[in-house]
Amino acid sequence: MLKVGHRGASGIAPENTKAAFLKSIKLGLDMVELDIQLTKDNNLIVFHDYDLKRIAGLDEKISNMTLIELKEIDIGSWFSDEFSDERILTLKEVINLLKDKMKINIEIKINQQKSEIIMAKLLDILKEEEYEEGVIISSFDHRILKLIKRKNYSLRTAVLIGALPVNPIRLIQEAEADGIHPHYLTVNRALVEEVKDYGYFINTWTVNSKEEVDRLVKLGVDGIMSDYPELF
């Protein structure tokens, strides 16, 4: 079973930062999950939100700022003063930090206007960094997952879902994906067995209690994402 740090080890360090990823390495995790956003000057950065309000207290959208501008912003102090030196990382920087040590689950956020630009840049980076085998690409935008498969069928993809659909297998098949990433509260034995019977994988998010980790392990999920990897 894959032990996955959600946005790195984000329960013990600020999310999507070098500190969170280094702690994931130290804890011996198999994978980290992270999010990507596109800057004003078309660089892919590792950041969850569309704006800087929650993390930096700034009323600015990521899409309206350049990489140089974003690199000046403290994204660690909101968590603790000891992380005041943490800065936004590019996707390339994170891949180079982690690619010899663990796998990466890259989530593409829903972005109707720029989704295909984000996809193209992501595929280029993965090819340049020779990291196509070490990644799972997931998204709530199932259309973009299908486009990714049309561009590079060897890349592994997973449909993200927050609520259990009537037919999860059809959802996977329509996206031409390799697996499914459901919210942990939707996961039951029937879902796990059905997904595996069809030859797909099932990784679940975001599990922050030992009781739920134990339940999901018994059900036989392929991976568990958590803010607190010490639960594993």
Please name which of 179, 181, 178, 172 lies closest in space to residue 206, comparing C-alpha atoms: 181
For residue 58, give its domain range: 2-231
Q: What is the pLDDT of residue 230?
A: 87
**Do the Cβ atoms of 14 and 79 come closer than 8 Å?**
yes
The pTM assigned to this predicted structure is 0.97
Query: Is 181 one of the catalytic residues?
Result: no
Res. 30: pLDDT tops 90: yes
Q: What is the pLDDT of residue 208?
A: 98
Query: Is 6 one of the catalytic residues?
Result: yes
* pLDDT, average across residues 64-85: 99
State both tokens at 73. 């912003």
Domain count, the chain: 1
CATH of the domain at 113: 3.20.20.190
